[in-house]
Amino acid sequence: MATPSHRRSLRKRRTLVVSAAVAAAGLGTSLLVMNANAEAVDLFHQTLAAKDGWASSGTGTTGGAKADAAHTFTVSTRAQLVKALGSASDTTPRIIKVKGTIDANTDDAGKKLTCADYASGTGYSLSAYLKAFDPASYGTSKLPSGTQETARAAAQGKQAKNIVFKVPANTSVVGVPGTKAGITGGMLQIQNVDNVVVRNLTFAATEDCFPQWDPTDGDDGNWNSNYDSVTLRGASHVWADHNTFTDAPHLDSANPKYYGREYQIHDGALDITKGSDLVTVSRNQFTNHDKTMLIGSSDTDSVGKLRVSIHHNVWKGIVQRAPLARIGQIHIYNNHYDVTTLNGYATQYSINSRAKAQVVAQNNYWTVPSGGKVAKLLSGDGTGSVAGSGNLVNGTATDVVAAYNAASSKDLKTTVNWTPTLTAELESSAKNLPTSLGSTTGAGVLK
């Protein structure tokens, strides 16, 4: 089956597709879509197609398509982006065109900011922090508290004020084609708002200067960081499409160890938590990252929400959480998972279903290197479900759930309590996904 067009509109009117040669190829990377009245729909006004995953449910996802000229912005600096976003409580439709790469770690004048700049005036220093909370003297039974922890939190707060961008409802944030559009070092926070589109952007190097030591996390403690590249918290009707997520240029292999544990400065790539709902994640590339996508922030996150569709994405050099799903109804289809170790990122698992999550994993393709174990492609806690069909491993039809259950003491359940219906983009075979998705996913493809 040819790869469906990427350039879509929710408009119910009959559409005419210009450029027959491209349409015949099924790639759609440089199309203009016109309705019957010959009204052109450009990249920045495009909306999610009908029945394209959970985000098309109900009112659908249109982002800022209705923005007027006064609320259409082109931005190329952090200060311009902040101004264009405006107040997170302003629901006026807006389109934000990102031209080039925006460095979040800059001040309003464009001057580069470093971790030392954020720490300045807080009293924090890493050496003092390490001395204060050395498990040999501080112990391992309680979280850090006291002067240096207070200073660390203050420094982290200064960084957050600079790099966290709060997205209002009815907003489209879209990269301008041909400009290497993206955000480096920053986080888009989509919180308690409805109807947001994020497309054609590269999110790179989202880093926490001030990870917190938690000696109670796991058997040996862990360093925990604070920022996702894109985070959904209580958000609804969100479409994340044709983006690229990466840790580059600072990869985890360059992280030092303190107290014998990796000093982790990266958190999630795209997390969907705290009762977020009706989300479609399509045609993105996730690469060079550890904890990639979390659906549900805890085992007690919102029942009846966390409905997410994940399709036609490429996952390569991902350690875990592709995704980790809790509670919700999640449809994962037509994705390509390459679990070959890349730049030190070695896969632990791809999909984790836990806390009674209801996952349908359909027509996905796994590329597994020689010696790789199919039983490690999935994970769970014994309460989550994965109903799988049409999945291929190295081109061969494989029951990945049965392979996991045969090797696990906590079986994944094999039936779910729902049937996906918003499946306009579903391809009936995964056979060609490694080839077709290689050139049609991620930032920089749309024109």
Q: Is the pLDDT of residue 1 over 70?
A: no
Task: Report pTM.
Answer: 0.91
Cβ proximity of 105 and 165 under 8 Å? no
> What per-residue confidence (pLDDT) applies to 167?
98
Lowest-pLDDT range of 169-173, 215-219, 284-288:
215-219
DSSP run (H or E) holding 35: strand 33-35
Mean of pLDDT values over 205-217: 97
Q: Is the pLDDT of residue 27 over 90?
A: no
The answer to whether residue 321 is catalytic is yes
Confidence label for 34 from pLDDT (cuts 50, 70 and 90): very low
pLDDT of 16 strictly over 90: no
Amino acid letter, residue 445: V
**Which pLDDT belongs to residue 50?**
98
Six-digit token string for 300 = 């007690």
Residue range 319-356, pLDDT digits in tens: 999 999 999 999 999 999 999 999 999 999 999 999 99
**Candidates 8, 283, 321, 354; catalytic one:** 321
Mean pLDDT of 291-315: 97
- DSSP output for 56-81: GSTT---TTTT--GGGEEEE-SHHHH
Percentage of the chain lying above the pLDDT 90 cut: 90
CA dist 299 and 322 (Å) reads: 18
Are the beta carbons of 33 and 15 closer than 8 angstroms? yes
What does the alpha-carbon distance between residue 62 and residue 174 come to, in Å, rounded to a whole number? 13
In the structure encoding, which two tokens stand for residue 386, read together? Answer: 């994965």
Asked if residue 217 lies in contact with residue 142, where contact means CB atoms within 8 angstroms, the answer is no
The alpha carbon of 137 is separated from its chain's Cα centroid by a whole number of angstroms, namely 39
